[in-house]
Structure 1
Amino acid sequence: MPEDLRDLSARDVLDAATSTLRTRRLLEVQELRVLEQWVAMHGADPLDGLDARGREHARAIGKVLRQLGGEGTPGVQDFCLGEIALAREEHVNATRSAMADVLDLVHRMPLTWAVCLAGDAEVWVARTVASRSRRVPADRMWIVDQAVARMIATESIKRILDVADAKIIEADTGTHEDEVAEAKQRGFAAVGQTEDDGTRMVVARIDAADGPGIDAVLERVAEALLTSHPDATLDERRSMAMGYFGRLGQLFELLLRGVDPTTDPNTDPDAIARALAIPADVLDLLRDPAIAARIAPQAKLYVHLHEAVLLGEEGVARVEGLGAMTLSELQVLLARHNVVVQPVIDLSDRVRTTAYEHPESIKERVHLITGGDYWPYASSTGRGVDYDHPTPYRPGAPPDHPPQTGTHNSGPLGRRHHRWKTRAGFTSRQCGHGRYVWLTPHGLAFLVDHRGSRRIDPDEARQMLGAGEQVELYFPDQPLSVEINLRR
């Protein structure tokens, strides 16, 4: 293809679009084939040849064979997943999902996989069908495979997936009916992640009998909000009303607004209680500001922002669990709440202790420094992690040995990452403030710091790992080997 696309004719551009499409599809197939080969290289059961005690120990540490795909697919050693994910520069869950999909395609959907191998189908569509049909028994998968293979190269994506869903039900009607029945009995309530526009989805599955009451409260609060938000639509006000479920004091204030029997002698207190589905004696208590304050929910909010923003300069605040927001948005978030500001932690301090366990004060500092899991390309920014010693803790060190636990030798790891680091041959070391070097069993090297995760030269990593205690090595960054043609 010519370097300058402007030299192409209209027909050449159309041909290039088709050629690029086919090339992309074949590259995606090759990505999956690489994962298939990794499974083949790590498909032996690690429990084979072990005695009963050895097998028990291997299971306890997670050194087992896991079946990621559906029935009839080969297993893969759990400990091998982390390294291939790092080679792909992504979270292990994404690699695990792709590996399960290719195993299903190869072993359970060979006809559909053949169409993908020829570059005639969108790989992600085939993967979607493989994932949705994972519960289907192996001896019934031909129903799904035949139907999808006939149409995946010629039909629209929606039609393909609609037919696939129908065939999945046809192939395993009993399981489908069981799942439908279970779904009706399964209750849950969840708050989604913060979207780019600062909103979050709230989804719940509740008892049908509770639905009308919740709807009535939303409608009543939405009506009360009409005075303060006359231009908002009903849907917008109902959305606002949902937020009041997390602010009980304000919720009751709105519910009671305009129906206070102390100011309206014609109002029947019992009628009010019945309308709000709240006992009359409880209503009396809720009118007491002290009681309302006591039942208000309490939460600890972590807000990160530069001092310049507080002085009026442009900038944003980052609120853990909610994402980025402007200072005005933060003011709205905190408005009408009792806010207690905790002392600012100076993260430049290096706090240490001689104990093996991490005190809460050190955990707090380490989390604020790292921002979450320090495994390369990890996506977790939560606090539900293990606090690891990158340089393993050595019990029985002499009294004059420097403390081994502290912000100088601590990093948050998810439980799976922690297990792999401890048992699967990965090596790490903290080599600076929030700066960690990793070396995988097959010699891939990564550096994790305030700029994220990136590959580094393995020899540099070995030097960093082998440096003496309290020695931090820094190497000049290598320039990116990418050339971008900006000619116009």
Structure 2
Amino acid sequence: MTATAAPEIVGLAELDELTAAELLACVGDAETAERRAGLAKLELALQWCVLHPASEETGAAVWGDAGLPGFTQCDEALGGAGCPLVAAHAPEPFAAALGVSTMAGMQVLADALNLSHRLPRTWALVRALGVAPWKARRLAQATHHLSAQAAAFVDARLVDRLDACGAVLIDRVVAEAAARFEPEPQADAEDAGKASWDVHLTHRVDGGFAGTSHLEATGDTVDLTSFYDLVCDQAAHLATLGDTDTLGQRKAKALGVIADAQGQLELKVAPVPRRSLTKTRAYLHLSLTDLLGLPDGLARVGEVERLGPLTVARIQDWLGSTRATIVPVLHLGEVPPEQERAVDEHDPPPAMREKVILRDPHCVFPWCQAGSRSCDQDHIDPYLPLDEGGPPGQTRPSNLAPLCRRHHNAKTARRWRYRRNPDGTYTWHGPHGRSFRVTGDGTRRIDA
């Protein structure tokens, strides 16, 4: 094989036989293959939309159906202005076939629609393998909110350089289009910006970051700059006091120093002690072995809901200065249906609802991660009122599962069906012959 050979990706066993030039040629081949695969995915997505047009009977898919916070009141169609509407429950089978969440599948469909109907020059370039599909999708998402005329402006301005430009240039041209074609929204942007001022605290749950949280503030530029300067000054002062942590770590610690200083100032001004209004309820998931501290040679570990796994010792230390109610959640295995508590009303009582939420922390639809506290409590076997011939005891934990609103609607419309297995997993059957097993570790395809 030489650097000028026809594009062909060699097997892994042959890689150590390649020269540097040949290896770089293979990198180019891999990029071409990736572009072909990305194009194929977009072409398939576009054809899926063609096969599933919206109608009065099906309704239209909108972003508000995504089942995620912030989208629940949104009736915005998948594609931008000028794109055809897609049937309401078309995204689920497509997303499941890709092995991604419904939200991610909706994004692929939206990108294909926007490229084909709003960015035709870019779409032609993608089909000619002249630009990476991921970059074209980035452009489709950046222009989604623009009018059709503004999107066409961006399309014309970037088509000759999209393959070489980066995100900064894309955003700059998109902002220019918004200013040119949508002057009134642009004029209101400053007022809208103030409406977005807020402070958010997010607890990290990804591996290795237990006990670390993320603070995000959006506000007046001068105010935030002044506060940031104060944080940096305090971080520098910590260094003079002998703190050897990194600058980033010292800036994070400075927040606590500033908060403590403010608390001391308030005590001097108003020495009457104030009772904290903060009430914390921590759901601690742990095994009976960890709870009893049995000598098995392993560290005792629990998982705090929304915060991730921590050692029991770390949890005790972390909560030592916090007024918190700790609710232990013991995982003792499945309870036989005949031993479950059941009620005859449609809505489960609070204790039963809490049990289902703690048992299944997120929507049990394939690849969905919507938190179960914001989900509906679905009757796996549909509930039939007693006065209409329904059997007693239909509302019980083994017949309940958390489903986000979108996937609850998909199940209710009988486009999808599922069952809860004796081991606590779920088996789903889609409308096109595909089946999936949802477990605590994720989703797996189980097609024959």
**Displacement of 1:341 after TM fit?**
4.1
Matches of 1:137 and 1:426, distance apart in 2: 36
The correspondence for 1:197, drawn from 189, 193, 209, is 209
**Is 1:447 equivalent to 2:432 in the alignment?**
no
**Displacement of 1:322 after TM fit?**
1.4
**Displacement of 1:425 after TM fit?**
2.1
**Displacement of 1:358 after TM fit?**
1.1
Question: What is the identity, as a one-letter code, of the residue corresponding to 1:15?
Answer: A
Q: Paired residue for 1:125?
A: 135
Q: Paired residue for 2:62?
A: none
**Displacement of 1:14 after TM fit?**
2.3
The alpha-carbon distance between structure 1 residues 355 and 455, as it changes in their structure 2 partners (threshold 3 A), is same
**Displacement of 1:376 after TM fit?**
0.9
SS at match of 1:295: coil
**Is 1:358 equivalent to 2:348 in the alignment?**
yes
**Larger Cα Rg: Structure 1 or Structure 2?**
1
The alpha-carbon distance between structure 1 residues 140 and 401, as it changes in their structure 2 partners (threshold 3 A), is closer
**Is 1:303 equivalent to 2:269 in the alignment?**
no
**Displacement of 1:122 after TM fit?**
1.6
The correspondence for 1:239, drawn from 252, 265, 268, is 252
Matches of 2:131 and 2:414, distance apart in 1: 37
The correspondence for 1:406, drawn from 396, 420, 434, is 396
Q: Paired residue for 1:264?
A: none
The alpha-carbon distance between structure 1 residues 177 and 355, as it changes in their structure 2 partners (threshold 3 A), is same
Question: What is the identity, as a one-letter code, of the residue corresponding to 2:433?
Answer: G
Q: Please say if residues 347 and 365 of structure 1, whose CA atoms lie closer than 8 Å, have aligned partners that are also in contact.
A: no
**Is 1:172 equivalent to 2:159 in the alignment?**
no
SS at match of 2:427: strand
Q: Paired residue for 2:4?
A: none
The alpha-carbon distance between structure 1 residues 307 and 93, as it changes in their structure 2 partners (threshold 3 A), is same
Q: Paired residue for 2:408?
A: 418
Matches of 2:222 and 2:173, distance apart in 1: 35
The alpha-carbon distance between structure 1 residues 398 and 46, as it changes in their structure 2 partners (threshold 3 A), is closer
**Displacement of 1:339 after TM fit?**
4.7
Q: Please say if residues 43 and 77 of structure 1, whose CA atoms lie closer than 8 Å, have aligned partners that are also in contact.
A: yes
Q: Please say if residues 380 and 400 of structure 2, whose CA atoms lie closer than 8 Å, have aligned partners that are also in contact.
A: yes
Which moved further from structure 2: 159-168 or 224-233? 224-233
* TM-score, reference length from structure 2: 0.79
Q: Please say if residues 133 and 168 of structure 1, whose CA atoms lie closer than 8 Å, have aligned partners that are also in contact.
A: no
Matches of 2:389 and 2:55, distance apart in 1: 44
**Displacement of 1:116 after TM fit?**
1.0
The alpha-carbon distance between structure 1 residues 93 and 307, as it changes in their structure 2 partners (threshold 3 A), is same
SS at match of 1:353: coil
The correspondence for 2:110, drawn from 83, 91, 100, is 100
**Is 1:337 equivalent to 2:322 in the alignment?**
yes
**Displacement of 1:228 after TM fit?**
10
**Is 1:81 equivalent to 2:68 in the alignment?**
no
Deviation per CA, 1:97-153, whole angstroms, max 9, x where unpaired? 111111111111111111111222121111111111122221232221122210023
Per chain length, whose mean CA-contact separation is higher, i.e. which structure has more relative contact order (CA < 8 Å, sep 6+)? 2
- 5 Å-filtered alignment, 1:318-333, equals 318-333=303-318
Q: CA RMSD in A?
A: 3.7
The alpha-carbon distance between structure 1 residues 220 and 303, as it changes in their structure 2 partners (threshold 3 A), is farther
Q: Paired residue for 2:298?
A: 313
Question: What is the identity, as a one-letter code, of the residue corresponding to 1:23?
Answer: A
**Displacement of 1:161 after TM fit?**
2.5
The alpha-carbon distance between structure 1 residues 144 and 213, as it changes in their structure 2 partners (threshold 3 A), is closer
Q: Please say if residues 220 and 255 of structure 1, whose CA atoms lie closer than 8 Å, have aligned partners that are also in contact.
A: no
- 5 Å-filtered alignment, 1:19-98, equals 19-47=29-57, 67-98=77-108
SS at match of 2:398: coil
Instruction: Please list every run of 5 or more consecutive structure 1 residues that lacks an aligned counterpart in the other structure.
Output: 51-58, 246-250, 258-275, 287-291, 459-488
Q: Paired residue for 2:272?
A: 285
The alpha-carbon distance between structure 1 residues 399 and 125, as it changes in their structure 2 partners (threshold 3 A), is closer
The correspondence for 1:377, drawn from 362, 367, 379, is 367
Q: How many residues align?
A: 412
**Displacement of 1:308 after TM fit?**
4.7
Q: Please say if residues 191 and 200 of structure 1, whose CA atoms lie closer than 8 Å, have aligned partners that are also in contact.
A: yes
Q: Please say if residues 147 and 163 of structure 1, whose CA atoms lie closer than 8 Å, have aligned partners that are also in contact.
A: no
Matches of 1:376 and 1:15, distance apart in 2: 39
Deviation per CA, 1:351-375, whole angstroms, max 9, x where unpaired? 3223221112222222222222111
**Displacement of 1:30 after TM fit?**
0.8
SS at match of 2:374: coil
Q: Paired residue for 1:348?
A: 334
The alpha-carbon distance between structure 1 residues 217 and 305, as it changes in their structure 2 partners (threshold 3 A), is farther
Matches of 1:200 and 1:382, distance apart in 2: 21
Percent identical pairs in the alignment equals: 26
Question: What is the identity, as a one-letter code, of the residue corresponding to 1:285?
Answer: V
**Displacement of 1:2 after TM fit?**
4.3
SS at match of 1:408: helix
Q: Please say if residues 54 and 88 of structure 2, whose CA atoms lie closer than 8 Å, have aligned partners that are also in contact.
A: no
Deviation per CA, 1:16-64, whole angstroms, max 9, x where unpaired? 211111011111111011111111111142259x9xxxxxxxx9xx9xx
**Displacement of 1:72 after TM fit?**
0.8
Q: Paired residue for 1:475?
A: none
Question: What is the identity, as a one-letter code, of the residue corresponding to 1:348?
Answer: E
SS at match of 2:428: strand
The alpha-carbon distance between structure 1 residues 210 and 144, as it changes in their structure 2 partners (threshold 3 A), is closer
SS at match of 2:373: coil
Instruction: Please list every run of 5 or more consecutive structure 2 residues that lacks an aligned counterpart in the other structure.
Output: 1-8, 60-64, 66-71
Matches of 1:100 and 1:197, distance apart in 2: 34
SS at match of 1:24: helix
Q: Paired residue for 1:393?
A: 383
**Displacement of 1:457 after TM fit?**
3.6
Q: Please say if residues 317 and 325 of structure 1, whose CA atoms lie closer than 8 Å, have aligned partners that are also in contact.
A: yes
Q: Paired residue for 2:68?
A: none
**Displacement of 1:162 after TM fit?**
5.0
Matches of 1:452 and 1:25, distance apart in 2: 28
The alpha-carbon distance between structure 1 residues 45 and 238, as it changes in their structure 2 partners (threshold 3 A), is same
Q: Please say if residues 86 and 376 of structure 1, whose CA atoms lie closer than 8 Å, have aligned partners that are also in contact.
A: yes
* TM-score, reference length from structure 1: 0.73
